[in-house]
Amino acid sequence: MVYFKRLVLKVLSNPTNWPFHMLLGVSLFVGGIWAAVELTDEVFEGDTQTFDERIIKSMRVADDFSDPIGSSGIEEMGRDLTALGGVAVLSLITISAISYLLLTRRARTALLVAIAIGSGVVVSMLLKYGFDRPRPDLVPHGSNVYTSSFPSGHSMMAALCYFALPAVLASVEEKRRVKIFLLVTALVLTVLVGVSRVYMGVHWPTDVLAGWLFGASWATGCLLVAKFLQSRGDIEEEI
């Protein structure tokens, strides 16, 4: 009890110390998983179907649901944005980030990144297989799909990659404005990928929301593990 009081006082007196960040990370991880579980319950109880259909229809021409809103140029942008969450693009980004870490002699951090992204792919596939939600059938699909709908794999992996990788890279950057830029860019990219999946008609909005929650939570969990290992001295590099 005495130790707990000292810890609380230490956090309140200096919010930049590592216990504060660890507690914040744990709160975000638990909160994200809780929100994802609650959303999953709502989805499979059918409570979100009206919401899902309304959002998808709002992205289509009112008298022709086969036609997405916007010009042909906007539709092409949708396909370009959805590719940012695809296997090819995320693989190239991940390989580039790992190569950078290896070149800067941060081999253990590179290994953690590889494990985090690889395990995220496995979790995404297991969730899809377990829930096996059908793809939207209200509108034609603007992109080829091969798996079930829930959660959105593009959204989940975008959230995981675009948040975990900038967080690692930001750790070697001293300027605060650059750190903020990296994280804001990650947020924007993640949102654009998710919205594009609904716009292309290949995911329900709740698929995307679940993907964001699971992906961001997994990224937070991996970063917490990295911090814990670093505090034990198992990782020498700064994470």
Per-residue confidence in pLDDT tens, the chain, 239 aa:
444 345 444 444 444 445 666 777 788 888 889 999 999 999 999 999 999 999 999 999 888 878 888 888 888 999 999 999 998 999 999 999 889 888 988 888 888 889 889 999 999 999 999 998 999 988 888 887 888 899 999 999 999 988 887 777 666 666 778 778 888 888 999 999 999 999 999 999 999 999 999 999 998 888 787 777 666 655 555 45
> For the chain, what is the largest distance between any 2 Cα atoms, rounded to a whole number of angstroms?
67
Tokens of 91: 């693989």
Q: How far apart are CA 61 and CA 123, in angstroms?
A: 36
| DSSP symbol at 136 | P
Residue 213 lies in a domain: yes
| DSSP symbol at 81 | H
Q: Is 238 left (phi over 0), alpha (psi -120 to 50) or beta?
A: beta
C-alpha radius of gyration, the chain, whole number = 20
Contact 148, 132 (CB under 8 A): yes
The set of residues, in sequence order, having a beta carbon less than 8 Å from that of 40 and lying 6+ positions away, is 131, 150, 210
The set of residues, in sequence order, having a beta carbon less than 8 Å from that of 35 and lying 6+ positions away, is 213
The set of residues, in sequence order, having a beta carbon less than 8 Å from that of 39 and lying 6+ positions away, is 48, 206, 209, 210, 213
Residue 135 lies in a domain: yes
Residue 65 lies in a domain: no
- Total structural domains within the chain: 1
The whole-number pLDDT of residue 55 equals 93
How long, in residues, is the chain? 239
pTM: 0.83
The whole-number pLDDT of residue 230 equals 65
Dihedral sign, Cα of residue 35, residue 37, residue 38, residue 43? positive
The whole-number pLDDT of residue 63 equals 83
The whole-number pLDDT of residue 14 equals 47
Contact 124, 155 (CB under 8 A): no
Residue 78 lies in a domain: yes
Residue 58 lies in a domain: no
Q: Is 64 helix (H, G, I), strand (E, B) or coil?
A: strand
Domain that holds residue 87: 21-47+71-232
Residue 96 lies in a domain: yes
Residue 118 lies in a domain: yes
Residue 184 lies in a domain: yes
